Amino acid sequence: MKKSPTPKQQAFIEQYLVDDNATQAAIRSGYSKSSAYQLGHKLLQKPHIRDVITAAKEERRLHNQVHEDFILSRLVENVERAMESQPILDRAGNETGTYTWNGHVANRALELLAKYTNTFKDAQPNQKFTVLVETGVPGPPNSSTKENLQ
């Protein structure tokens, strides 16, 4: 027979789901502040409490429709949008011939995608490598291009 959480344990579970902080959840659910760290840890070790927390998180994930495909598609969308070059306009609204783009946004999204795919798992921490990105925006005259680097 599966054990059910006591009312105080249920309060802990509900509070734990707020911020995933066992110590604060124990305090907010009425456990002693002086022993909240140890009690929170012990409560999370109990299988019937872990099962309820896991089920609640899964239900939340399904309800919010946050899943791997959603996250990956949003990261790819961020990379694509951030890599779009935007022309800089003068006061009259004419293009100046220079472009701007959100490299930091693209780099962060690419970093997260690389972590997900283990793209750099064999790279050494201080290993240097070159990444060529084709933006479709012409660079200054005589600039390095893919052909010049080969």
Which long-range contacts (C-beta less than 8 Å, at least 24 apart) are formed by 81-85?
81/105, 82/106, 82/109, 83/133, 83/135, 85/135, 85/136, 85/137
Q: What predicted TM-score, i.e. pTM, was given to this entire model? A: 0.48
Q: Are residues 141 and 86 in the same domain?
A: yes
Q: Are residues 113 and 142 in the same domain?
A: yes
Share of the chain above pLDDT 70, in %: 83
Nearest one of 125, 144, 122 to 133, comparing CA atoms = 144
Residue 98, pLDDT score: 81
Is the predicted pLDDT of residue 8 greater than 90, yes or no? yes
Q: Are residues 112 and 42 in the same domain?
A: no
Q: Report yes or no on 126 lying in a domain.
A: yes
Cα gap 137→150, rounded to integer Å: 20
Least confident of 4-8, 57-61, 131-135: 131-135
Q: What Rg do the C-alpha atoms of the chain give, in angstroms? A: 25
Q: What is the pLDDT of residues 79-109, one digit of tens each?
A: 888 877 778 889 999 988 887 777 888 888 8
Residue 133: phi and psi, rounded to 5, are -120, 120
Q: Report yes or no on 110 lying in a domain.
A: yes
Q: Are residues 77 and 54 in the same domain?
A: no
Q: How many independent structural domains does the chain possess? A: 2
Q: Are residues 29 and 99 in the same domain?
A: no
Q: What is the pLDDT of residues 20-31, one digit of tens each?
A: 999 999 999 999
Contact 16, 25 (CB under 8 A): yes
Distances (CA, A) of 88 to 7, 45, 93: 61, 57, 9
**What is the arithmetic mean of pLDDT over 122-140?**
68
The continuous run of DSSP H or E covering 88 comes out as strand 86-89
Most confident of the ranges 42-51, 59-68, 74-83: 42-51
Is the predicted pLDDT of residue 147 greater than 60, yes or no? no
Query: Token pair of 70, please?
Result: 């959603």
Residue 124, pLDDT score: 63
Q: Report yes or no on 2 lying in a domain.
A: no
